[in-house]
Amino acid sequence: MSNLPHDSAHTHVTGRSEFVDDRAKLSNELFVDVLYSPHAKAKIKKINIDKALKSPGVKGIFLGKDFHHNIWGTIFQDQPLLAETEVNFAGEAIALIAATHPDTAAVAKALIEVTYEVKPAVLSVQDAISLESFIAGSRKIERGEVEKALASAPNKLENSLVIRGADHFYLESNVAIAYPKEDGQIEVHSSSQHPTECQHVVSHGLGLGSKDVTVIVKRMGGGFGGKESQAAPIAAYAALVAQKLNAPARIVLTKDDDMVMTGKRNPFEVFYNVGFDDNGCITALDAKLYSDGGAYADLSTSIMERAMLHSDNAYYIPHLRVTGQVCRTNYHPHTAFRGFGGPKGVAMIEKIVEEVAHYLGKDPLEIRKLNCYTDEGGRNITHYDQVVENNCLPRLLSDLEKESNYVARRKEIEAHNIKALTDRSLPLKGLSLTPVKFGISFTTRFLNQANALVIIHRDGTLQATTGATEMGQGVNARISELIASELGLKRSAVRMMPTSTDKNANTSPTAASSGTDLNGAAAILAVRRIKMRLSELALKLFDIPESQWARHTAGLGTQEEVEVKNAHLTNDPNEGAEWNSGIAEYHGISFKDGQVFSAKHPEKRMTFHSLIVEAYHNRIALSEYAHYKFPGLSFNKLTGKGTAFLYFTQGAACSEVSIDRDTGEAKVTRADIIMDLGRPINEGLDLGQVTGAFIQGMGWVTTEKLFYKNGFLLSHAPSTYKIPNIQDTPRIFNVRLLNNNENKPNVRGTKAAGEPPLLLCLSVWTAIHDAMKRLSPYKLKYPHMELPATNEEILKAMHPELFKKWTKK
């Protein structure tokens, strides 16, 4: 474990990091702009491009008919690259303008005349349900006898929850540059989490074989899921222009256009019935989840599946049924966002726990501990029949209760809020402690695979490429540390190369928090195959006089070559490794601090560089490719049963909020987090992921509200869309990682840090509710608010009578 900085930190802070749009502009390069629909649903009656074509500097205008194949889709191919006869969301692309300058393209875009026949649009989940406007069929996961258990439950609650979407707000908007190469080939540089999908969408759209399209991703200026699927059509736009005009083509969306055109975190509407006993033990839950998928499928069905799989969060519920249905509306197709569907399922069950506690007059933490997964009494099996291995949840709740001084602060806040009822100058305060159990794997089994290519050069330095894409999360730093430590080298000896489809093919997206898990394991397997050969070579060299080594004799051929066997390893990146170090040794040879030596006779040693020179002169391979797949996954999507995840990342957060009575503004005054990340590869980077995810989640549950008018996004800039800033961070912010040495399934016992911490933000949302429970409207019923709990939403909840005339029936 290390605390080395991000491998690109020094180039980021000095402004020398190269992003896609930093690539030097070529003299014949063209700039691409996109014309999109202002209407949520309309028939396209006519497109007139004549005036635009005559505009100075315009080299071409392209429509859907110019694509060889104009349909794409990640799961279902249902979305046109460019709309031809109808538009189904505001922001849907219709035409591409290629010009010598971005300003020239913008002028020409304004000259394109499109005649629309506007149609009625589906602009809410409720409308979609009433019209049965759905994407794919309904899904169900069920355990036990839900109706019978609900009927016999001593206490029952029925309620609903509206969860709004959120924008990814990556700092680098969608961008791609396409270069035409010889013999019809296309090279695309894209800001994408999924270069393989970009390759396939480009090749399909242009009528090329995948062999003729290379997609390269050096780094992204943020992704958060927003560039998992929706970067692909952007790449195709640049590639089409490059192919048609035989010139480099660059497309860089403005922040406004990017926000209008691209999908968000799926909004959800959730309905549930819950049964529980007088102690607060939840005995039955019947939940119906509806999501807004937007106009096309994108990833919404998989997002719904993960929401269903996380509807239990940290709690064992013996009788649980969850159904999920994706709705088709006329909004931009919603897509992956950090946490995927998990945050929606967890938001539901955490609200339920709070409601049960309020109904019984108990502390919500008591209800959480009572219902928490435990290894005793068979209460460690999920509703989809996966055993919760390495369960740290009870310990996390207990430890955080003590470390956050929860009991004493609860009493202080209760006393404060009693005073605040008579003194309006005092803010309301709230406190909540919530856990998370997040499954790590793609729920589509075939996506859980990766490959890596590792090359050792004759000077002893390495280059490595994997299918993982760097979006700021530090995946390259982690993988390079895995490689370097396995060979006993400094991380600076390893250079992670840009992700490229001609070196790592058929890759999965860098998503599902599995970038390091999958690609790091593949890299370790590749390194160990080389290491096994090098170890055998070193063992033999130690018995040969140095004067007879190949560096001295190979040129003349006076000595026989040293022969070594090719390594045969299993798919397990932990096989043969000493568990505590995670390092494997072969033939009794150790690699440490740039030295290679016999573990039993450490005086027999040489430098790593010297060994590499010998390997080269003995014609021993110094490069290796390896493929890795997660073992043991058995989730059946039809039955809703099986092992869906390799393991669970777990954590807990305790958040305290202060709410201004006049403005409804909620401030997070303190947050305490304990995160179980197994054995981190780089603790510093993981702490950064935890804090960053939590703050990003805070934005989702408090300030980030999307506003639309007739389906067109109005809040499409930082002036109208409020992401967290430095002033929103908790005044006291304590984060530590749990010491957990028992995550056996994953490479070196690590656990993924990318998505799970975001879900801890729900402690902020429930703390806001907790702050208002003393108000008179909520003595008998739990506060009812949408997510996010914006200032307006909080004011409305604090003063429901005053807001009645503005509240929709």
CB 495 within 8 A of CB 477: no
Q: Which two tokens stand for residue 35?
A: 């014309």
Q: Angle 762-772/342-360 helices, nearest 10 degrees?
A: 30
Q: Which residues pair with 708 in a beta bridge?
A: 713
Q: Read off φ and ψ for residue 22, nearest 5 degrees.
A: -80, -10
- Other CB atoms within 10 Å distance of the CB of residue 614: 23
3-state secondary structure 216-267: EECCCCCCCCCCCCCHHHHHHHHHHHHHHHCCCEEEECCHHHHHHHCCCECC
Asked whether the bond before 364 is cis by omega within 30 degrees of 0, the reply is no
Catalytic annotation present for 132: no
The beta strands (E) that lie in 399-529 are given as: 428-440, 449-456, 462-466, 494-496, 499-500
What is the spatial distance between Cα 713 and Cα 90, in angstroms, rounded to a whole number?
A: 8
Among residues 92, 172, 755, 793, the one annotated as catalytic is: 755
Where do the H-state alpha helices sit in 566-680?
Answer: 608-617
Amino acid identity at 670: R
What is the spatial distance between Cα 191 and Cα 217, in angstroms, rounded to a whole number?
A: 6
What is the spatial distance between Cα 74 and Cα 167, in angstroms, rounded to a whole number?
A: 20
- Other CB atoms within 10 Å distance of the CB of residue 115: 11
DSSP state, residue 547 = G
What is the spatial distance between Cα 522 and Cα 511, in angstroms, rounded to a whole number?
A: 16
Q: Provide the pairing of β-strand 647-659 with 666-676.
A: antiparallel
Q: Which residues pair with 249 in a beta bridge?
A: 30, 178
What is the spatial distance between Cα 208 and Cα 635, in angstroms, rounded to a whole number?
A: 35
The beta strands (E) that lie in 10-163 are given as: 30-36, 42-48, 58-62, 71-72, 79-80, 86-87, 93-99, 113-118, 134-143, 155-163
Q: Which residues pair with 86 in a beta bridge?
A: 43
What is the spatial distance between Cα 517 and Cα 520, in angstroms, rounded to a whole number?
A: 5
DSSP 267-330: PEEEEEEEEE-TT--EEEEEEEEEEEEESS-TTHHHHHHHHHHTSSTTB--SEEEEEEEEEE-S
- Other CB atoms within 10 Å distance of the CB of residue 179: 20
Q: Which residues are catalytic?
A: 755
